[in-house]
Structure 1
Amino acid sequence: MRFQAIGLMSGTSLDGLDICYAAFEKTHNWDFQILKAETIPYSNNWEEKLRNAIHLSSEELLELHSEYGFYLGQKVKDFIDRNHLENIDLIASHGHTVFHQPQKKFTLQIGDGRAVKIETGLPVIYDFRNQDVLMGGNGAPLVPIGDELLFSEYDACLNLGGFSNISLQQNNQRIAFDIAPVNIVLNRLAQKFNKTFDENGDLARQGKIDEDLLLKLNSLDFYSQPHPKSLGIEWCSEHIFPLLENIETIDAIASFTEHAAQQISHTLNKNNLKTVLFTGGGTYNAFLIEKIKEKTETGIIIPEKEIIDYKEALIFAFMGVLKMNNEINVLSSATGSSANHSSGVIA
């Protein structure tokens, strides 16, 4: 069995739309090859629209859901045409998360997959999270199925994006959970210096750690809760951003970088992990990686740029392939739902 699929991913850090065209082949195990991948940066207008989506009225949000779906469709069609791609079996679109409150049984990823299909004429699979939430799960993290079937040579896979999350084998099952916010907080703080992110952690290097702030951050309830568990922007707005308000920004960046490093290394140490694959934009934050390495004996594996940047988009493409074949693509051991299942809506 060989499939060629495109995965679309828009992360919480709003740095752009990741598009990954990959081939998947199953013999005994699944193998993959990234054939073409790129990030389409958001215009200021689109970044603003997506950032403010959480504040829209119902009618405005429905309008944006359609508008963003057509935007995704146009961008992926341009990608296909520009690269002369053929024999595409499907497009799998994550959409952009606006709300994520699984405890209230809802999560919302905008970008109507039917609009993507209208623009491209290809089968589209979208809305991967809702079914899991309705089944009592967190609707996140979803990538563990890809970690298990495509990256099983590592003890664990850790993504450093808007939030840090990890997936690993424990008692013969794949567990996964969010560890702590990362770029969703650091990028917001960096914007006060007219930067979109803290490149290499250079800002954090200049700040001083505020020990009181660090203590408050590390004492937040989420960190002592058992897995499965996941984080959203709403949690940061309630628990993180208020703590940073009266702190000198440069010190807030230093302190939050230290906090993220402590929470991540604590997770690695607690689970006695020997090798962990690190991916996501935060992997380029040299200072954060240094801080984590100082606090753990775990071997931190940083792969080639293609995997760092596009692993999530790759896995959503893979989840689309699994859904098309009616195979399990969401693990209940990772999300906390009532059963493993095959998720996604087919347009």
Structure 2
Amino acid sequence: MSPPLKSPSRLSHVSSNPEPATFHVMGLMSGTSLDGLDIGVSVFQRSEEQGSWSGILECFVSIPFPESWRNRLKELPAASAENWFVTSIEWTQWCADQILATGWISEVDLVVFHGQTVFHRPHEGWTGQLGSGAHLHAALNGVPVVCDLRSLDVAYHGQGAPLVPVVEEHLYAAFEGCLNLGGIANFSCVDEETGNRVAWDIGPCNLLLNHLAARVGHVFDENGHIAAKGHVLPALFERFLALEFHAMPLPKSIGREWIEDEVLPLLDLEPDASVEDLMATAVAYIASVVRLAAEGKHTLVTGGGAYNGALIDALKSNSSAIRGLPVDVVIPQEIQVEGKEAHAFAFLGLLRVLGEPNALPSVTGSRQASSGGALWGTPRFLRR
């Protein structure tokens, strides 16, 4: 377990209202990179006079998955239905054990459990996140739990992703754009023509980079050192950019399976290339699609990719070899870089409990705004 991070700082304005409504929420997030379980405790306040929200991520820890769990999660797409349910219950218990080990559970009114996305096929009308909210609720001795946050938006013919832009609209409006460099890179901003927030998955990020790092025995490319030693392979770079997904209109989203089916096979077309050159090409590709999306905006950058020096340099570079305009990059404090997703899903779960929208049609393409998520138990603040 990495040392817990604690921060008194805020990225959003706190109302001067002396008695704002206050909510203590734990957010649990595990992304497509399969690197671990993120646990954060957030405090949200709403000014009753202005109706505006503020939030602070009070404490955060990221717990790496043991290799045994990483392997089980990777194998799930080919597993039987019985295996899925058994794994879901056992993995949920593992998550509960990590939560209880933090000693933070007594501080919270609500736990929001994103689960582990194994399948994401909104075009077929479904999305699948591993994890049982009912079992987590029981394992935490009745602490209320929200889970399954994406399914309702998909049922309304939306993409079910990204969902974090709802949070960015409420808590991070000071930035022109918000970029998450996780397993998948996604971006959100306000559309200048409509005034609505829009967001979409841009393409692969750490899923691709970590795949290449594993070829030389690393979990990830620390600070982009491998990429910095390589040279861009022009033919592969162009093949990446020519992927059909990049020409599709918004809204759009992808899952791990798209990367495995469409992106990784392109690497096999360069059988003699060094890992350094493949990594440099992947970084140039990721930076290019991000820059084409961000269009030079003042952008908050979070997620593990924010620590990849080669990637950040490429985002800011004036080199004509990278497509698009340089990005005006803002990297916040470490607790926000690593914990923004857990913080965000804590807020999305809180909105669900309050019956307020946590998915936007302008972002996901759904037929209507919705307040998605299954609730197990009743939070104390609803009983006051």
Q: TM-score range by the shorter chain?
A: over 0.9
d(CA) in 1 for partners of 2:109, 2:210: 36
Offset at residue 246 of structure 1 (A): 4.0
Q: SS of the counterpart of 2:106?
A: coil
- The match for 1:326 is 355
Aligned equivalents of 2:253 and 2:64: distance in 1? 26
Alignment of 1:1-347 (within 5 A): 1-27=21-47, 28=50, 29-79=52-102, 81=103, 83=104, 86-120=106-140, 121-170=142-191, 171-247=194-270, 248=273, 249-269=275-295, 273=297, 275-295=298-318, 296-347=325-376
Tell whether the 8 Å contact from 1:69 to 1:114 is kept in structure 2 after alignment.
no
Deviations 1:12-47, CA, capped at 9 Å, x for gaps: 111110000010000131111111110011111111
- 1:171-221 superposed Cα distances (whole Å, 9 cap, x missing partner): 211100011101001101100111000111111111221101111111111
Cα distance in 2, alignment partners of residues 335 and 254 from structure 1: 32
Where in structure 1 are there 5+ consecutive unaligned residues?
Answer: none
Deviations 1:138-169 (A, max 9, x none): 11001001000010100111000001101111
Q: Distance in 2 between matches of 1:32 and 1:114?
A: 27
The answer on whether the counterparts of 2:177 and 2:294 sit within 8 Å (CA) in structure 1 is no
Shift of 1:312: 0.6
Q: Which has the larger radius of gyration?
A: 2
- 2:7 corresponds to: none
**CA distance in 2: counterparts of 1:71 and 1:337, whole angstroms:** 34
SS of equivalent residue, structure 1 residue 261 = helix
Matching residue's letter, 1:164 = A
Give unpaired runs (5+ residues) of structure 2. 1-20, 319-324, 377-384
Kept in 2: contact 1:163–1:179 (CA 8 A): yes
Q: Which amino acid aligns with 1:276?
A: T
TM-score (norm. length: structure 1): 0.96
Amino acid at match of 1:204: A
Q: Does structure 2 retain, via aligned residues, the 8 Å contact 1:73–1:117?
A: no
User: Secondary structure, in 3 states, of the residue corresponding to 1:338?
Assistant: coil
Aligned residues: 341
Tell me, what secondary structure is at the counterpart of 1:97?
strand
Alpha-carbon contact 1:97-1:109 (below 8 Å) kept = yes
- The answer on whether the counterparts of 2:237 and 2:282 sit within 8 Å (CA) in structure 1 is yes
After alignment, is 307-316 or 47-56 more displaced?
Answer: 47-56
Task: Find the aligned partners of 2:108 and 2:259 in 1 and give their Cα distance.
Answer: 38
Give how far 1:297 is off: 4.2
Contact 2:151 2:160 in 1 (8 A): yes
What TM-score does the superposition give when structure 2 sets the normalisation length? Answer: 0.87
Q: Shift of the alpha carbon at 1:65?
A: 1.4
| Inter-partner Cα distance in structure 1 for 2:108 and 2:257 | 37
Task: Kindly provide the amino acid, as one letter, of the partner of residue 213 in structure 1.
Answer: L
Name the SS of the counterpart of 1:109 in structure 2: strand
Percent of aligned pairs with the same amino acid: 36
Most deviating of 58-67 and 336-345 = 58-67
CA-to-aligned-CA distance 1:78-112 (integer Å, 9 cap, x gap): 22x2x5x5341100010000001111111100011
